[in-house]
Structure 1
Amino acid sequence: MPYDKKSELPDSVSDNLPSHAQEIFKEAYNSAWDEYKDPKDRDGNDSREEVAFKVAWSAVKQKYHKNDNGNWVKK
């Protein structure tokens, strides 16, 4: 299901990503949720939610990376 606010994001996202990265995640997730609603648009047997999570994390990784301390920081 799409997320209306950053406060609705799962703990795995909100506990690890900075605010801006959370916004990127939320927007990418919601976009992918809409784009891949039809199962024939998805690769393999991934659920709509799995695909949206993959897309969202990929979007975050375009702008952020984990530093040596394991913290997500802007590239």
Structure 2
Amino acid sequence: MADKTINELPGEIREQLPEHAQQIFLAAFNAAQSNGSNEEGAREIAWNSVKNEYEPGSDGKWQRKAEDTAIHNKAVTSGGN
């Protein structure tokens, strides 16, 4: 599967993932194939990329993970020298 647009993704992926997640999947898939991965390996890499930002909801469709404010709002403190 040499995907060029999200419209060319398999139906099950388009049905499960919101558009942004489809874009992540496609970019990761294409990058993995460009780096020599076979289709199966590229799919695994693409799904792992999606899982970094999305998780499956109770309805079977993927949704963006809630932001971890502890990570995003970390205060940087000086050592005091």
| TM-score, with structure 1 as normaliser | 0.80
Residue 26 of structure 1 corresponds to 26
Where has structure 1 moved over 3 Å in runs of 4 or more?
Answer: none
Q: In 2, are the aligned partners of 1:36 and 1:51 still within 8 Å (CA)?
A: no
Bigger RCO (CA 8 Å, 6+ sep): 1
Residue 59 of structure 2 corresponds to 69
Q: Which consecutive residues of structure 2, in runs of 5 or more, have no partner in the other structure?
A: 66-81
| TM-score, with structure 2 as normaliser | 0.74
**RMSD (Å) for aligned C-alpha atoms:** 1.1
Deviation (angstroms), 1:69: 2.4
Amino-acid identity (%): 38
